[in-house]
Amino acid sequence: MPTIEVRFASGARTDCVIEPGALQRLPALCAGAGLGGTPGLLCDARVLSLHRDALLPLGEHLGDPIGRAVSEARKTLPEVEAMCEALTARGVGRDGYVVAIGGGVLTDLAGLAAALYMRGVPWVSVPSTLLAQVDAGLGGKTGANLSAGKNLIGAFHQPRLVICDPLLLATLPSRERWSGLAEVVKCALLEGGDLLQRCERDLERAAAGEAEALAPLVEGAVRLKARIVAADEREGGQRAFLNLGHTVGHALEAATGYTHFSHGEAVALGLRGMLALCDGMPERDRALRLVERIRIAAGSGLDSGQREAALQAMRRDKKVRRGGVRFVLLERIGTPVLREASAEDCARALAAALA
């Protein structure tokens, strides 16, 4: 499978390698990218447990994996500080680099640690979940949560390499695969064309873990994101379109303490809410039929306090400008737009998401 080269106006460059078995070539890929010095291998403790036989041999070149027990609830600045302390203990210097192996929480936190440590060292993202491979792994958005909301603190710090190894997905439970496919469906609605058709045809096969169905969906989503982030590195324009479904989705996560919905489940519900605001959109029924095929294990019932908390979280969304909540909507499949939403619109979107 291909290597996708992403060049940014800032001069940064990311090579995204999508290849079964790429994890075993990680030391060679790092060397080929010009990375040297002492590395720090930060690894999600769950991934280390599941893939120990594959990860421990990397220690000869990258040092022993530094296991971190991360979760959405622990996606905080104290965890970033702890990672930086671990890098210091490992002896990583300014000529070194960070390798992050794990899901989106781990790569977000480790990327932020790399951005801050020694005022910035290079890093490599090795996303181990479908959600992270198609979303968090590429684009350089690192971050941590505050009590007020998700990813409200962070930095843009482009990874030198993104390594997507489909073999890492074999151990994912069904709920995790569906969570990742929610982001793929989001990309399909932004892109249309072949990616949309593949989703409509192969969604359930991909959710069952069939590699021949999954791999083209991963590549299609990564190519879309690569094209968008290369043109808009710091979310000054079209990169905001990647937040389709996320205004409601992030609000649902915050309102339920990041413990009830997976990120993909929240995005899937957010896509339903988004489509409720796309009045007059051609093929809205087609889009909704695809979104409604995404399986959501968590119950969508929220009490009145949680619903109000979700509405408040929308008003703190990163896309808010001058107090106005902005939604990414669709004029049609493949044509996103950014529109300001009233309080009534926010309530309507939330109601549709939870219906």
Is 61 assigned a catalytic role? no
Is 253 assigned a catalytic role? no
Q: Which of 177, 243, 253, 265 is catalytic?
A: 243
Phi, psi (5° rounding) for residue 130? -60, -40
Q: Which of 68, 90, 160, 183 is catalytic?
A: 183
Is 75 assigned a catalytic role? no
Is 246 assigned a catalytic role? yes
Q: Which of 51, 160, 223, 246 is catalytic?
A: 246
Is 225 assigned a catalytic role? yes
Q: Which of 119, 212, 322, 344 is catalytic?
A: 119
Q: Which of 68, 157, 177, 239 is catalytic?
A: 239
Q: Which of 160, 186, 198, 250 is catalytic?
A: 250
What's the rounded Cα separation, in Å, for the pair 41 and 61?
Answer: 10
Q: Which of 225, 272, 318, 319 is catalytic?
A: 225
Is 176 assigned a catalytic role? no
Q: Which of 233, 235, 253, 265 is catalytic?
A: 235
For residues 184 and 221, the answer to whether their CB atoms sit within 8 Å is yes
Is 235 assigned a catalytic role? yes
Q: Which of 263, 272, 318, 319 is catalytic?
A: 263
Q: Which of 141, 160, 198, 272 is catalytic?
A: 141
Catalytic residue numbers? 119, 141, 183, 225, 235, 239, 243, 246, 250, 263
